[in-house]
């Protein structure tokens, strides 16, 4: 199968002739192929696809396969060679977007997309650094709404406590054979839970064999209630898409009154207070959101960063340590702890945090800049470097 491989961008691994195939699309900022270890344990052929440009596959994967259309053509040739019994696309975040896009273009049997973007508008979190609004696959909603016998069964898993992920997943029309799985108390990295608890393997095995499967992780379907869904839509468009006729504070307060025990409205109120530079009020709301969703790395990090900005560095250190208990290789927390421990005089532990951060995300600049500051004897502060958020 080597004639189909593209170094560092596409790898084909045949299990046996005619075996079902899983096409796995990789997330942003990845050093290798996402979910490689998980998929190697499954008795199916695998095709791993990575975007070296982190452009949501809008530039394809390299020379000769430099567009979505060229990638579809290349993958079609791979599938013609494998002749699989069933075909499944999967991925998380950028990979989830790609699983939806190429799953539908290739007319596979099923799609399993985790925390996908269904529109790659740069104003939203977890989107490309370049503007692709003039491209045909900028918004996947029209593609996902197609009703015909070639449309794949589309399964979307996402964190119930991440407002943008909820919006991305629930804005598209679903068919009776589709499935949506809002994982309770989780955020954009909901895939980390199901990759570790066996749910991912169960889902992919079910889809690859045409059998029913269950997600054992607790689900929170309140985000799919029509009234809640409508408020989430208004809030997301007001917060990120600059729709001036919507009043986000009013809608956030209304959502908090309806669902006071849900982290989402408290998180939104924290964002709004931060935008007003009212950090003390923002910290109160962020603290409440973090307490309601203790396994959400996004909400824990948001609270920790507010503590750090308020100068409450001991509390911030403890909060970032809690982040590492959720995700030991969390780049943002490692960078923050490197800075905070250096400022507290614990140089050795600071350098350990930063060295680990650099090994995890060697293409990102924040940890490198902090380490250089410490080595030069400067008092480190968080560099003003814009970097893409972490994904799986």
pLDDT at 392 over 50: no
Q: How many CB atoms lie within 10 A of CB 211?
A: 9
CA atoms within 13 A on the CB side of 231: 21
Q: Which is more confidently placed, 144 or 98?
A: 98
Domains and CATH numbers, the chain: 2-221 (3.40.50.1820), 223-375 (1.25.40.10)
- CA–CA gap between residue 265 and residue 252 (Å, rounded): 5
pLDDT digits (tens, 9 = 90+) for 141-195: 998 887 766 789 999 999 999 999 999 999 987 778 899 999 999 999 999 999 9
pLDDT digits (tens, 9 = 90+) for 185-234: 999 999 999 999 999 999 999 999 999 999 999 999 999 999 999 999 99
Look at the pTM and tell me if it is higher than 0.85.
Answer: yes
pLDDT digits (tens, 9 = 90+) for 269-297: 999 999 999 999 999 999 999 999 999 99
User: How confident is the model at residue 389, as a pLDDT?
Assistant: 59
SS (H, E, C) the chain: CHHHCECCCEEEECCCCCCCEEEEECCCCCCCCCCHHHHHCCCCEEEEECCCCCCCCCCCCECCECCHHHHHHHHHHHHHHHCCCCEEEEEECHHHHHHHHHHHHCCCCEEEEECCCCECCCCCCCCCCCCCCCCCCCECHHHHCCCCCCCCEEEEEEECCCHHHHHHHHCCCCCCCCEEEEECCCCCCHHHHHHHHCHHHHHHHHHHHCCCCCCCCCECHHHHCHHHHHHHHHHHHHHHCCCCCCCHHHHHHHHHHHCCCCHHHHHHHHHHHHHCCCHHHHHHHHHHHHHHCCCCHHHHHHHHHHHHHCCCHHHHHHHHHHHHHHCCCCHHHHHHHHHHHHHCCCHHHHHHHHHHHHHHCCCCCHHHHHHHHHHCCCCCCCCCCCCCCCCC
- CA–CA gap between residue 225 and residue 232 (Å, rounded): 10
Of 128, 293, 160, 300, the closest CA to residue 228 belongs to 160
Calculate the alpha carbon distances from 166 to 58, 108, 345 in Å.
Answer: 24, 25, 42
User: How confident is the model at residue 201, as a pLDDT?
Assistant: 98
Instruction: Tell me how long the chain is.
Output: 392
Calculate the alpha carbon distances from 326 to 34, 153, 275 in Å.
Answer: 19, 32, 27
pLDDT digits (tens, 9 = 90+) for 315-335: 999 999 999 999 999 999 999
Question: What mean pLDDT do residues 90-110 have?
Answer: 97
């Amino acid at each position: 199968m080597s004639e189909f491989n593209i170094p560092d961008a596409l790898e084909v691994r045949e299990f046996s002739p005619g075996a079902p195939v899983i096409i796995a699309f990789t997330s942003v900022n990845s050093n290798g192929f996402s979910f490689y270890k998980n998929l190697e344990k499954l008795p199916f052929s695998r095709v791993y696809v990575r975007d070296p440009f982190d452009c949501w596959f809008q530039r394809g994967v390299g020379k000769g396969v430099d567009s979505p259309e060229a990638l579809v053509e290349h993958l079609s040739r791979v599938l013609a060679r494998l002749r699989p019994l069933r075909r499944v696309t999967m991925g998380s975040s950028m990979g989830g977007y790609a699983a939806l896009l190429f799953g539908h273009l290739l007319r596979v049997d099923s799609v399993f997309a985790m925390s996908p973007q269904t529109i790659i508008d740069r104003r939203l979190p977890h989107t490309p650094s370049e503007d692709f609004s003039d491209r045909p696959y900028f918004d996947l909603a029209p593609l996902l709404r197609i009703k015909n016998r070639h449309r794949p069964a589309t399964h979307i898993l996402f964190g119930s406590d991440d407002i943008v992920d909820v919006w991305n997943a629930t804005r598209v029309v679903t068919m009776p054979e589709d499935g949506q799985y809002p994982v309770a108390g989780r955020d954009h990295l909901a895939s980390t839970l199901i990759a570790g608890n066996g749910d991912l393997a169960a889902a992919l095995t079910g889809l690859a064999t045409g059998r029913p499967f269950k997600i054992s992780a607790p689900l929170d379907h309140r985000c799919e209630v029509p009234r809640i869904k409508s408020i989430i839509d208004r809030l997301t468009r007001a917060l990120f898409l600059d729709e001036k006729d919507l009043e986000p504070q009013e809608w956030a307060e209304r959502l908090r009154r309806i669902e006071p025990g849900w982290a989402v409205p408290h998180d939104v109120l924290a964002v709004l207070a931060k935008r007003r530079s009212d950090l003390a009020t923002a910290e109160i709301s962020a603290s409440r959101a973090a307490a309601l969703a203790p396994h959400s790395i996004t909400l824990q990090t948001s609270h920790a960063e507010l503590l750090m900005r308020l100068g409450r560095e001991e509390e911030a250190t403890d909060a970032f340590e809690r982040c590492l208990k959720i995700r030991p290789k969390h780049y943002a927390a490692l960078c923050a702890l490197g800075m905070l421990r250096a400022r507290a005089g614990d140089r050795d532990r600071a350098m350990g945090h930063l060295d680990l951060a650099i090994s995890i995300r060697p293409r990102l600049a924040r940890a490198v800049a902090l380490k250089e500051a410490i080595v030069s004897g400067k008092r480190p502060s968080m560099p003003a470097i814009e970097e893409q958020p972490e994904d799986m």
